[in-house]
Amino acid sequence: MSQKMTRKLQFIAARAGIRLDRYIADECPELSRSYIQKLINEGYITVNDAVVKRSFRLNIGDKVSVIIPPPTAPSLLAEEIPLNIVYEDSDLLVVDKPAGLTVHPAPGHPSHTLVNAILAHYPQLSGVSSPGRPGIVHRLDKNTSGLMVVAKNDAAQQNLSAQIKARSVAKRYLVLVVGHLSPERGIIEAPIGRDPGNRKRMAVVSSGREARTQYRVVKYIDNYTLLEVSLETGRTHQIRVHLAAIGYPVVGDEVYGTRSPFLKRQFVHAHHLGFRLPSTGEYVEFSSELPSDLEEALKRISSPL
């Protein structure tokens, strides 16, 4: 196996009686249940260094080791998709991703992604780090718009990934929620993991991974609140899950909230991004204006018919 791309994880079980496959699903929500079972069956997941069945029930203190082998690299095609490049140097790009564009290819969505668009402009990125995800160090949901940084070489990808892991990258979002959120500043701290009742959703669950979301009220508009949200962690669907959990669902969020009569996607826009340039260490910041569909949504709720 390629040591460069092989991931190795280790956990110490804090609960007794939970099935191994369920435990891994809770600890590694980015892995599908079928893939977890495949890893267990092939001996990539062990308990106390022994290969066990997926139905094995853990004891407190058991050492669970997970090896995630490098994926088979998909065939990546360059596609001429328009890109809004906000900044570029020899190490990286900052792009303003439109809503509706998936970040990277995945099963069932092999093309027409941000990665395919980037490869049309920079074919040399195909050799950068992760197979299938060259240059990608963080993600935005398909229907979330806004700023992303993309690495152009392995050194830059490692540097940016380290900054994200150290929580030194500033990521702020403009978010519209239903209701008047009070107090005007706050922190939502609640663990996030797979929803036990629906594996395609995330939820606040006691067995989930640490998640912290800061918010401040920008303004109240009719029965809505425009927020600026800052992420201290980067869990899947974190903003949408946390705000729904406290009773203020994101406008237009059909998964965790409700449909909107004036918006076809969730009102989440990554409007601010700050980090240190890998080459010099200089701290830089970038901003992005609200796209037209979100601006129009604000106008409609400010002047209801």
In a domain, 289, yes or no: no
Asked if residue 265 and residue 203 are part of one domain, the reply reads: yes
- For the chain, how many structural domains are there in total? 3
Q: What is the average pLDDT value for the chain, to the nearest integer?
A: 89
CA distances from 47 to 37, 53, 144 (A): 14, 10, 39
Q: What is the pLDDT of residue 129?
A: 58
Report DSSP state, residue 104: S
Q: What is the pLDDT of residue 160?
A: 93
- Show Cβ contacts of residue 290 under 8 Å, excluding neighbours closer than 6 positions: 174, 269, 271, 298
pLDDT of 127 strictly over 90: no
In the block, which residue shows the tokens 């018919």?
305
Q: What is the pLDDT of residue 56?
A: 95
pLDDT tens-digit series, residues 1-50 = 344 567 889 999 998 999 999 999 888 877 777 889 889 998 999 999 99
Spatial distance between the Cα atoms of 113 and 98, rounded to a whole number of angstroms: 11
In a domain, 277, yes or no: no
Q: Provide the residue range defining the domain that includes 196.
A: 172-270+295-302
pLDDT tens-digit series, residues 164-209 = 989 999 999 999 999 999 999 999 999 999 888 887 789 999 988 9
Provide the CATH number for the domain around residue 253.
3.30.2350.10
Asked if residue 108 and residue 81 are part of one domain, the reply reads: yes
Q: What is the pLDDT of residue 27?
A: 85
Spatial distance between the Cα atoms of 115 and 125, rounded to a whole number of angstroms: 9
Burial of 195 (0-12, 13-18, 19+ CB in 10 A): middle
The DSSP secondary structure of 152-214, one letter per residue, reads SSHHHHHHHHHHHHTT-SEEEEEEEEES--SSSEEEEE--EEEETTEEEEEEE-TTSB--EEE
- Which residues are known to be catalytic? 141
Asked if residue 149 and residue 190 are part of one domain, the reply reads: no
Length of the chain: 305
pLDDT tens-digit series, residues 233-288 = 889 899 999 999 999 999 999 999 888 998 999 999 999 999 999 999 999 999 99
> pTM of the prediction?
0.75
pLDDT of 132 strictly over 70: no
In a domain, 286, yes or no: no
pLDDT of 225 strictly over 90: yes
Q: What is the pLDDT of residue 72?
A: 57
How many Cα atoms occupy the beta-carbon half-sphere of 121 within 13 Å? 15
Burial of 180 (0-12, 13-18, 19+ CB in 10 A): middle
> Residue 70: which of 126, 7, 133 has the closest Cα?
7
28's tokens: 């590694």
Report DSSP state, residue 264: S
Q: What is the pLDDT of residue 117?
A: 87
Provide the CATH number for the domain around residue 28.
3.10.290.10
Asked if residue 47 and residue 78 are part of one domain, the reply reads: no
> Residue 94: which of 103, 78, 83 has the closest Cα?
83
Higher confidence at residue 150 or residue 108? 150
Using DSSP, state whether 114 is helix, strand or coil.
Answer: helix
In a domain, 16, yes or no: yes
